[in-house]
Structure 1
Amino acid sequence: MSASSMLPQKRPHPDSKPKLPALSETERILYELIRSKQNIGIWTADMKRETGLQTTVVTKTLKSLQNKNLIKDVVNIHNKARKIYMAMEFEPSKEISGGSWYSDGSLDIEFIRILREQCLKHIERLQIATMEAIYKSIQESRVFKVECTMQQIVEIVNAMVLDKEIEELKSTGIGDFSKVPSGKICYKSLKGREGPKIGALSSIPCGVCPRIGECTPDGIISPKTCVYYNKWLSLEF
């Protein structure tokens, strides 16, 4: 996860139309079309088809709208060759961007690896840790220059449970669990115990895949056809 992609960005509410600078008729038509697609965006070929504008006109108008900071181009993980445009106030949908584990259209394996290591480190330090305690410890450690989200921690921890690296327990409120309210879900390291060190879904789940170098959005090996990846996405966190 690149630093820039994780920085909180204050944007106008999508339902409130931004104050527009002076636009030509062509700019207005193209901008209204792009904005109507909201967080899905629109491909240049579809712009030409829906507006009837020539390629050169569309290209020139898009550049002008970008210069006026009204639209942006985004990467579509399913087809990087297609340039998708959307209005500045929208963030790409998960179907377009790949979600929080993608940066600039590519799975951010390094971020996943480091976050996973940090989760395990704090679980081992705390011995018995709730999800909230793991998240708080990582935030206070300031290992990351930018803030990771609770949802990212939840997904990482659940993957580690699947990989038998940690175990999910319910606190009894006594003994080792004395600092955790009774009935609260918490986690403990399985380091040193018998069990697989790396599971089929390790690292969400691509970090240890031997074919990761060959995996592309539209290739023979792809997240769209990967059994393990689809199984992981279907989990309830």
Structure 2
Amino acid sequence: MSLSQDAKSLYEAMLEQPSHVFSQAELEDILDDENKPKLVEYLRELMQKQQVKLLQEGDGTLFYRAIAEQEAMLIRGMSADEAMVYSYVQASGREGIWTKTIRIRSGLHQHVVNRCLKSLETKRITKSIKSVKFPTRKIVMLYHLQPSIEVTGGPWFSDTELDVEFVNLMLNVVWKYVCKQTFGSVDSNTVQASQIPGQERYSSLESIHKFIEEANLSTVELSDSDIYALLDVLINDNKVERTLSGEYRATWQSILEDQGRLPNLVPLLNSPL
């Protein structure tokens, strides 16, 4: 059974705002006065075709969201249980959802949830991911989405484990860059011979980030907030100071402490900047 022309027109109007959740009043505003009384009939048509999804707030208020035709076709190919499980996974976005939460919210037995998820994963509709916050839980999300930083832990984690070696490498890289900008060298004898009071050059967050990007020192993309986090660690370790202008300079204490013990991790720093 095909859609009526009026139901189709309503659906097309809703698709113009694909992520919008419509109240009944908003949908009535879309219709002509003579068709307003038929809204429930049109919505029933669209929901039967899986082209509109019904949502309910905690107070019982109903809302409606248009489902794109490609997604509607996908849902029509699912069993009722699979469609229900899919709806909870979809609603979780990039955070993903614990399989136990799906069971509780759907009221389905765990073996039914597991069977549905296995089918959806086989079809590459959903996937299992690991969570830094909850490493023992099975978290699932839509196949085409990338997990949020809250789930993965960001660039400092690998398979939910803190990558200590990578963190230490980047800390040393940042320190040596700031040190050379501040004193012109990472050698205490060279610094002592050439240092002119008041002639230090300070490093901005942007310049540090740019250096790391241009030198291809990381296999993962680092954001400004990631570099800022490294600088905070160096500040807490008294290796770097933040100036009143918001720039960064290396401490003389850090040169003395690391002299002779800091590995030459970044040969690029020995070339002119």
Match of 1:11 in 2: none
Q: TM-score, normalised by structure 1?
A: 0.61
> Rg: which structure is higher?
2
Q: Distance in 2 between matches of 1:168 and 1:100?
A: 24
**Contact residue 77 and residue 98 of structure 1 kept, 8 A:** yes
Structure 1 counterpart of 2:172: 117
Structure 1 residues 123 and 26: alpha-carbon distance in aligned structure 2, compared to 1, 3 A threshold: same
C-alpha separation in 2, matches of 1:118 and 1:34: 40
For residues 2-81 of structure 1, what are the structure 2 equivalents within 5 Å?
15=19, 19-20=70-71, 21=74, 22-81=77-136
For 1:189, give the aligned amino acid: A
Number of equivalenced pairs:
171
1:169 alignment partner, one of 207, 222, 243: 243
Deviation, 1:15, is 4.4
Q: What is the aligned counterpart of 1:152 among 220, 226, 234?
A: 226
Distance across 2 between alignment mates of 1:147 and 1:94: 12
Query: Contact 2:97 / 2:141 at 8 angstroms: preserved in 1?
Result: yes
Q: Is the 8 A contact 1:122 1:138 kept in 2?
A: no
Matches of 1:28 and 1:162, distance apart in 2: 50
Q: Distance in 1 between matches of 2:130 and 2:161?
A: 9
Query: Secondary structure of the residue that 1:63 maps to in structure 2?
Result: helix
CA contact (8 A) 2:239 2:254 kept: no
Greater helix proportion? 2
Question: Percent of aligned pairs with the same residue?
Answer: 27
Q: How far apart are residue 135 of structure 1 and its match?
A: 0.9
Higher relative contact order (CA 8 A, sep 6+): 1
One-letter amino acid of the structure 1 residue matched with residue 250 of structure 2: S
Residue matched to 2:185: none
RMSD over aligned Cα, in angstroms? 2.8
- 1:129 — aligned with what? 203
Q: Against the structure 1 CA distance between its residues 99 and 191, is the aligned structure 2 distance closer, same or farther, given a 3 Å change threshold?
A: same
Contact 1:166 1:191 in 2 (8 A): no
The alpha-carbon deviation at position 79 of structure 1 amounts to: 3.2
**CA gap 1:78/1:185 in 2 versus in 1, 3 angstroms:** closer
1:187–1:29 distance in 2 versus 1, CA, 3 Å: same
Is there any run of 5+ residues in structure 1 with no aligned partner, and where?
A: 1-13, 171-183, 198-237
